[in-house]
Every structure is written in C-alpha cells, then in structure tokens.
Amino acid sequence: MTENNSKKAQIGVTGLAVMGANLARNLARNGYTVALHNRSVEKTDALLEAHGSEGDFIRTETLQELVDSLESPRRILVMVKAGQPVDAVIEQLAPLLDKDDIIIDGGNSHFPDTIRRERELAEKGLHFVGVGVSGGEEGALWGPAIMPGGSAKSYESVGPMLEKIAAKAPQDGAPCCAWLSTDGAGHFVKMVHNGIEYADMQVIGEAYDILRSVAGIKPADQAKIFRSWNETELNSYLIEITSQVLEQVDAQTGKPLVDVIVDQAGQKGTGGWTVQAAIDLGTPITGIAESVFARGLSSSNTAAREEAQKELPAGLIATTGVANADEEFVEDVRKALFASKLVAYAQGLDMLQEAADQYGWTYKLDVVASLWRAGCIIRAELLGEIMEAYSGENIPSNMLLAPGFKSLMEDLLPSWRRVVAKATALGIPVPVFSSSLSYYDGLRRDRLPAALIQGQRDYFGAHTYKRIDAEGDYHVMWTEDDRREVNAADVHVH
Ligand SMILES: NC(=O)C1=CN([C@@H]2O[C@H](COP(=O)(O)OP(=O)(O)OC[C@H]3O[C@@H](n4cnc5c(N)ncnc54)[C@H](OP(=O)(O)O)[C@@H]3O)[C@@H](O)[C@H]2O)C=CC1
Ligand SMILES: O=C(CO)[C@H](O)[C@H](O)COP(=O)(O)O
C-alpha cells in the first residue's frame, strides 16, 4: 500500500468481491497504482490485509475519496453485481466526475443496459466502456480474456492497461484483449462467450452421462479418460477441469463428489440472454438454447421430475453395434462431443456475425476467436484454428464450411450418429448432441420441410409462399373450389 497520500492512482476499482479484488491485484502487479473501494469497507481492508504488499494500492472508504485519489482523466473500473447495482453505482459516481472521465463496467452486464448507460453518460460528457471479462478468480488475477466495447477514443486511454493485464495467447503471445466495437459490443461478445460456455459444459455432461450410463465407467476412471482427451484436439480448460471434478472424492462419504452434488444446474442469466438475443436476430443457436433449457429442466420443476421418474414409461429399445465399454465406444463418445462442441462455436460465431450486420458493429470473427484463445472459460486449442479459418480473404459463411472443419466433420459424423442413436434408444437425454446433429443435417439437406410449413401458413393465414421456379409471392385460393394459385401481387394477400 502506498504511503504517499498525494500520489494519484492511475485506475480505481469499486466492487472488491472475487473479480474486482483479483483484477485490482493484477493491475497492481503490472505496475499500476490502484485505488480501492467497496460499498462495505470490510472487503477493502481484507484485500489490503492479505495482499496490500503486492503493489501500490490507495485505500478509500467513500466514492468521493475514490474520485479524489485518481489522476485525470479518471478511470474507474466497476466490478459490482450485474444489473441494478451497476446503475446504483453510476448514479452515485457520475455527479462526482469531470468531463472525459471514464467509467468501465467489467461485470456481466446485459448489452442493452450497456448501450443505455453509455448514451446517458455521454450526455453528461462522461465515457462509459462496457467490458466483458472472463476467466473467473484465477483469470482475473493472472490474466483474463477481456472483451471491450465503448468508443474507440476511450479505448486509447484504457486499452493499454487492459491489454497489459489480459491473458496472452500461447500461440503468439498476443494479449487476449482488443477493442471490439462501439457501445454494447464488448458485453454482447462476452454474453455469446457464455452461451458457448453453457453448450460446451452441457456436451461434456452428456459425454459423462453416456460413459457412465451406457458403459458403466466410474467417475475416477472417467477422470483418466477426460485427461487423455485433453491431449487430443479437445484440449481445453473445461475438459481439464472436468477431469479434476470427476476425480474429486467427497471427504464426508468417500463417494465421488459428483455423486453427492444435487443434479440441479444454476444459471445467472447470460445463457438465457444469449438465446433471447438470438431469437431477436433470427439466428438458430439450437445447441446453445438446448444447453440453457437443459439447466432449466434439471432445476425448474423438481416435483415433476420426481413424479416422472416413477410414472413415465421408458420405452427403451435394444441397440446393436459397438460394445459399450470398449475403446471404440469411448472414442465414438469423444468424437460426438467434439462435433457438438464445434457446432456450439459455429452457432455462437454465426450469431456474432448477424449481430454485427444488424447492429452495425465492426468486430471481426478472427479477432473475437483470438481473444478467446487464453484466459477465458471457453479457451481451447480449437480457437487457434477457428481464428485461422476467419483470417484472410475467404471468410466462411458458416464455421463448419471452412475447409479444415469440413474434413474434420467427415471423420466425426459416423461416431456422432452412432452415439446419438444409442443414447436415444437407451433413454439417455442428449439434448445438445442431438440438436447439434440436427442443426448440421438441417444445414446440409437439400430440401427442408419448411416448404410444407409455408403451405400451411398460406392455408390458414394467406401468408403466401415463393416458388422454386418463378419470382414473386404466391397464394392458393384455398377456400374456393378450384384452389387456384394466384400471384400475391394481383390480389390482396400478405
Ligand atoms: N465470479 C466470476 O467468476 C465472474 C463474475 N463476473 C461478473 O463480474 C461482476 C462481479 O462479480 P463477483 O466478483 O463475482 O461479485 P458479485 O457479482 O458477487 O458482486 C458482489 C460485489 O458487488 C457489490 N455490490 C452489490 N450490490 C451493490 C450496490 N447496490 N452498490 C454497490 N456495490 C454493490 C458488493 O459490495 P458489498 O461487498 O458491499 O456487498 C460486492 O463488492 C459480476 O457482474 C459478475 O457477473 C464475470 C466473470 C466471472
Ligand atoms: O461469466 C462467467 C464466466 O465466463 C461466470 O462464471 C458466469 O457467472 C457463469 O455463468 P452461470 O452462473 O450462469 O453458470
């Protein structure tokens, strides 16, 4: 902690829970003088007591003291609970600030809130930067992935600091932080990151369930399998931590920890926001959506789950093919997991492109992928290849159409189909494995039943359809005896 009371801090952090405290320490370790503030002063003092010697910190008790302790233009990183607390802090902070000071919101804020907050603060002459941060406690301390939005001008002031504390990509040492685009773009990209995170976690869960329920492989043995998978193209943070969770033994009972954890998954909202935003954009992020609903099914109506366990028939059917416990089956599951994971990334990136097109954001998908290569929860070896796929001239219209991924899919598909078929026959829910496979088949199929849906829509609502062999919109006079087709331009239909 600095002894020099007149020394000004280069950045202030308010909100010193898990993320704020560790980001503050990361900033200090990187040579910045950091002013500390928390609503309740106990967290500030606890941080200083435990880590005050790590760098230059300035202790403050009030927001006025925090503001007074900062060099101009001020930079204040807000790391409080997302939602109303962010507005509460801004409301108290803004009147204390001067023109051109910068408020940085590093929490998981909803992007429409970020757009609104930036607009409102701009009217007061203040800059507001919405920044997605991923990496949890360890990432915040040692280098998170950072996804900044806001104006390019304010990035000139905060960017160098953020890049310094960000994770560095193992492939080229580049910081996992770059300005993405205006207003809510940073929080939007972080939200989609979390949507992919949900799908990635769910497909790992589905693989675990199949290996356990079909092949009878115990958690400790699965830990070894996941560890070996981490040496393959599945290499990622989530696979690595899965092996550690699976090998954990509960001290009280001696059982695998996973067997004593209640099987109801929580969620704080970012996955659901991703699905809502995708619906607004019209992007089919089916695997991500299923992963959100799978958490909901596990926890929202537990009474129905209990009753269904006793009452609902299983209707299982016999399966043939590869034996359950052999290496071939385990490899099938690995490939099904990898294929479903690829679809999650493809869907998330598709959604990001659509949002850029509709909302006027300028980020490029290779840059987004580059930021996710280290520090964040979805970091994976795969992201280097995704970055490559979107670099250069020939940007694929869907990630799965990039040459490398196309040939990979060819290898993964037979395993993926076998695993989905087997799990379905045996009554093991695989919502993301199966919906991702349906998405893949939906993309590649030459004719979809959407044609029939258009016919139905025209029947009950005169909504018209297009023909495969002519321009224009058409309608059948369904209620007339001759059911003749008319050009919609010639009659009053919509
Ligand atoms: N935890 C994680 O792994 C990750 C979290 N995030 C996001 O980062 C942000 C911070 O997360 P985390 O560190 O977990 O902390 P929490 O989300 O648990 O928030 C706790 C902090 O918010 C403060 N706070 C709550 N309400 C108010 C209020 N009305 N006015 C002022 N301060 C308030 C608390 O102050 P007090 O101590 O006085 O109660 C405390 O400092 C959140 O947006 C979260 O979603 C992002 C990535 C990962
Ligand atoms: O943002 C994060 C990581 O990237 C957080 O860990 C997030 O809170 C996890 O989401 P949820 O609680 O909904 O599982």
Does the Cβ of 34 fall within 6 Å of ligand 1? no
Q: Please, what sign has the CA dihedral across residues 376, 380, 382, 385?
A: positive
Does the Cβ of 194 fall within 6 Å of ligand 2? yes
Residue to substitute in 109, 137, 268, 299 for testing ligand 2 pocket (most ligand atoms within 8 angstroms of CB): 268
Write down the pLDDT at residue 319: 81
Does the Cβ of 202 fall within 6 Å of ligand 2? no
Mean pLDDT of 107-111: 98
Does the Cβ of 14 fall within 6 Å of ligand 2? no
Is 306 marked active-site? Answer: no
Q: How far is the CA of 190 from the centre of ligand 2 (A)?
A: 10
pLDDT in tens, 278-325: 999 999 999 999 999 999 999 999 999 999 999 999 999 988 765 666
Out of 197, 206, 247, 290, the active site residue is 197
Give yes or no for residue 2 having a pLDDT over 80.
Answer: no
Write down the pLDDT at residue 4: 47
* Low-confidence winner among 60-74, 212-226, 309-323, 340-354 (lowest mean pLDDT): 309-323
Report percent pLDDT > 70 for the chain: 97
Mean pLDDT of 463-487: 97
Q: How far is the CA of 61 from the centre of ligand 2 (A)?
A: 29
Give yes or no for residue 426 having a pLDDT over 90.
Answer: yes
Residue nearest (by alpha carbon) to ligand 2 atom 11: 267
pLDDT in tens, 252-284: 999 999 999 999 999 999 999 999 999 999 999
Write down the pLDDT at residue 325: 63
Atom of ligand 2 nearest to the CA of 267: 13
Mean pLDDT of 70-97: 98
Atom of ligand 2 nearest to the CA of 265: 14
Is 197 marked active-site? Answer: yes
- Pair of tokens at residue 298: 């596990």
Predicted-complex ipTM score: 0.98
Write down the pLDDT at residue 1: 57
Out of 118, 163, 190, 341, the active site residue is 190
Residue to substitute in 81, 103, 376 for testing ligand 1 pocket (most ligand atoms within 8 angstroms of CB): 81
Closest CA to 47 of 10, 78, 22, 11: 22
pTM: 0.96
- Pair of tokens at residue 490: 């010639």
Question: Which residues are annotated as part of the binding site?
Answer: 15-20, 38-40, 80-82, 108, 134-136, 193-194, 198, 268, 295, 457, 463
- Pair of tokens at residue 427: 């009554």
Residue nearest (by alpha carbon) to ligand 2 atom 4: 134
Instruction: Name the pLDDT band for 491 (thresholds 50, 70, 90).
Output: confident
